[in-house]
A and B are shown apart, each in its own frame.
Chain A
Amino acid sequence: MTVPDPQLPQLALAEEAARWCVRLCEGEMTSSLRAQFTRWLTSDPAHRAAFDQAVEAWQEVGAAEGTSEILALRVEALESLRRAQRAGAGRQVFGIKTRWVLAASVVVALLFGIVAGRYPSSQLYSSGTGQRRNVTLADGSSMSLDASSEVLVRYSAAQRTLQLLRGRAKFQVARDPGRPFLVRAADRQVVATGTMFSVEIVQKEVQVILYQGHVSVTGPDRMPTALVAGDELIAPISLAQVHIETANVARSLSWESDQLEFVDESLASAVERVNRYARTPIAIGDAAAASERISGVFTAGDTRAFIEGITAVSALKAEEHNGQEVLWISGRATH
């Protein structure tokens, strides 16, 4: 004989309260359902308390919906829904409602929740390996995506929120002082009104370069750092400290013309950028190679030229391993 779980009645109550939340969300209730709800609420003070707690839990999730942690879960959920719908489309006789049937597009992955005019609307823009994308957003702002990059865009009446999920993007912001333009990248947030700037996630750092106007960047300590045009801010993810230097504007924009330009860059960040364009990504064999500093101008997508270029002028050595080029510091490649 099993001992009853003391949690069980509590669990049943919590689930019941949550189900009432769902039913209330589903629009006008029938009069018999309304009567049931009233009866349920008034029959026991514990029911009232549970209902409040269910609403609280929902509010809590709602309040966190814009954070990068919850955004990651949302992207996961929306992608799962999209997959399920694709799979289901073949299975069902009547198919799925057209508004959920989305053209598969490599360029713009239109996610859900999201169909134009809906509230809230978010859209995921992504670029594949070796592809750069220019996107004009609903407010006239434009966004230039580096290869292998992803930005989730969510516009509301109060603000324009963009989340850089990976890679790099440059933003030309349409002026709208009443509606701040927020770009989140890892734990950093860049706030702008009308301006042009780029945000990149590379090697556990967020890098922000301001080309025009003003932006302010906040991190985990919530202290804003204001940038002036020409500044490059480097913020290690999850540390409060930031470092500002003068950006080489031309060099920082070279990726938009398919050039990757490095000056005294660590191999790790150079390779991460080169790999955005590489069909077969380059690997780094050891820590010493990762921290090797390299310089040079390379054509995006020409991985071979990159490898030849850097191995010619440094102590680095390339070796093919399981079909992948691995860069080592010479002398250590004896594995």
Chain B
Amino acid sequence: MEAARKQQLDDLCRRFRPALIAYFLRRVPNPAEAEDLAHDVFLRLAGVPLDQLRSADAYIFQVAANLLRDRARRWKVRYAYAADQVAAAEVDELETHASDPERIEVARRSLATLVAQLMELPKRTREIFILYRVENVARRDIAQAYGLSLSSVEKEVARATAYLMLHREYPR
């Protein structure tokens, strides 16, 4: 039971950690703090009945938003004057974003384009990317199956990701 739960948490971590860190990086000044906050999100998830969540991702970003709000309030108290403006602005920003918790602006490339671009990748690269990113198969298991090193798996995933990054269709 505990093992299954831990697996579930690890999988959520796998799926959302980079997105959470990106989310926090937009709101806190330094990367180390962003990582700590992401870590705190997963600590808070430890007590939550994950099976009963309607939508794990919405919940995770809600927890993230709450953490930021708490943090802003603490700052407000601690630096009553100096930080007041900053913290208030930060809380405001949170309120406006709360309805759409997944603040990462997902590119609106059409599904057909996305699939076409994935198809342009070498077959093995595409498969490894899908296995790692979508199926949550452990890097070690992929490495063993294909007879690759861990860093080669990382390289294949990175190659596929970079291809999608460099062929975005929308202006930035």
Contact = CB atoms under 8 A, between A and B. Distances in A.
A70 interface: yes
Given A18-B157, A77-B126, A81-B131, A57 B145 contact: no
A121 B114 CA distance: 23
Contacts of B81: none
Interface in A1-42: 7, 10-11, 14-29, 34, 37-38, 41-42
B114 A100 contact: no
Contact of A52 (B56, B104, B159): B104
A304 interface: no
Contact of A15 (B17, B102, B159): B159
B135 A77 contact: yes
B139 A157 contact: no
Interface residue tally on A, bucketed by range: 35 or more
A55 B144 contact: no
Contacts, number: 202
A24 B21 CA distance: 9
Interface string B125-141: 01110111111110101
Contacts of A41: 25, 31
Contacts of A80: 123-124, 127
A250 interface: no
A328 interface: no
Contacts of B80: none
A110 to B, nearest CB: 13
B126 A38 contact: no
Interface in A48-62: 48, 50-62
Secondary structure call for the B interface: helix
Interface in B74-115: 102, 104-107, 109, 111-112, 114-115
A197 B41 CA distance: 41
A27 B111 CA distance: 30
B127 A77 contact: yes
Nearest to B33: A38
A139 to B, nearest CB: 12
A112 B161 contact: no
A88 interface: yes
A62 B15 contact: yes
B152 to A, nearest CB: 12
Contacts of B139: 22, 26
Contacts of A96: 141, 144-145
Among B10, B18, B164, residue most surrounded by chain A Cβ atoms (within 10 Å): B18
A321 interface: no
Interface of B: 4, 7-8, 10-15, 17-19, 21-22, 25, 30-32, 35, 39, 50-56, 102, 104-107, 109, 111-112, 114-115, 118, 123-124, 126-128, 130-137, 139, 141-142, 144-147, 154-155, 157-159, 161-162, 164-166, 168
26 contacts: A18-B161, A19-B155, A21-B18, A21-B161, A22-B139, A24-B17, A25-B13, A25-B18, A42-B31, A51-B25, A52-B104, A56-B168, A57-B164, A57-B168, A58-B161, A60-B114, A62-B15, A63-B106, A65-B134, A76-B130, A77-B131, A77-B134, A97-B141, A117-B4, A157-B51, A158-B54
Given A11-B162, A61-B133, 20 more contacts: A14-B166, A17-B161, A18-B162, A19-B154, A38-B31, A41-B31, A42-B30, A52-B22, A54-B162, A54-B165, A57-B107, A63-B106, A70-B111, A70-B134, A78-B135, A80-B127, A81-B145, A113-B137, A119-B11, A157-B56
Interface of A: 7, 10-11, 14-29, 34, 37-38, 41-42, 48, 50-65, 67, 69-70, 73-74, 76-78, 80-81, 84-85, 88, 91-92, 96-97, 100, 112-114, 117-120, 156-158, 178
